[in-house]
Amino acid sequence: MLNITAARRAKNTSVELNMAPLIDMVFILLIFFLVNTSFVKESGIEVNRPSAATAQFQEKATIMVAIDKENRIFMENREIDVRAVRANIERALAENPNGGVVVIPDKISSAGVVISVMDGCRMAGAKNISLAATVPQK
């Protein structure tokens, strides 16, 4: 009669699982997702946006510039001067050349300041500039 357990003990082989290829694959996936992720830089303040019936959602907005009701300009949680908009947008576009700029004006902010900010964005080389608005409630 054949004794199976005795035959297994005689071989005395152990099974090992090599984890190195699995760890390599995890790191490759991690690097892939980090490289392909775009980070959104918020403006840093909350503004009362105007409403527009034709407002559309924009997917690739990575640079936010906010204008509050006192016509102060904010970018990346800090207040900037209207003359510094161009330099700040150039720096942000150097980090992400395909990024879009969203100007978020308050309802009662001055149109002249909004136009100056948009002009600074264009002079900095931004191709995709949008104004933020909310969709009116029905």
pLDDT tens sequence across 76-123:
888 999 999 999 999 988 888 888 888 989 888 888 999 999 999 999
Q: What is the pLDDT of residues 19-61, one digit of tens each?
A: 888 899 999 999 888 877 766 555 566 666 666 666 666 666 6
Count of Cβ atoms closer than 10 Å to residue 2 Cβ = 5
Do the domain assignments include residue 78?
yes
Full residue range of the structural domain in which residue 106 is found: 61-131
pLDDT reported for residue 47? 64
Q: What is the CATH number of the domain that holds 75?
A: 3.30.420.270
Do the domain assignments include residue 19?
no
pTM beyond 0.75: no
From residue 96, alpha-carbon distances to 120, 125, 131 in Å are: 17, 12, 19
Give the total number of structural domains in the chain.
1
Do the domain assignments include residue 37?
no
Do the domain assignments include residue 15?
no
Do the domain assignments include residue 118?
yes
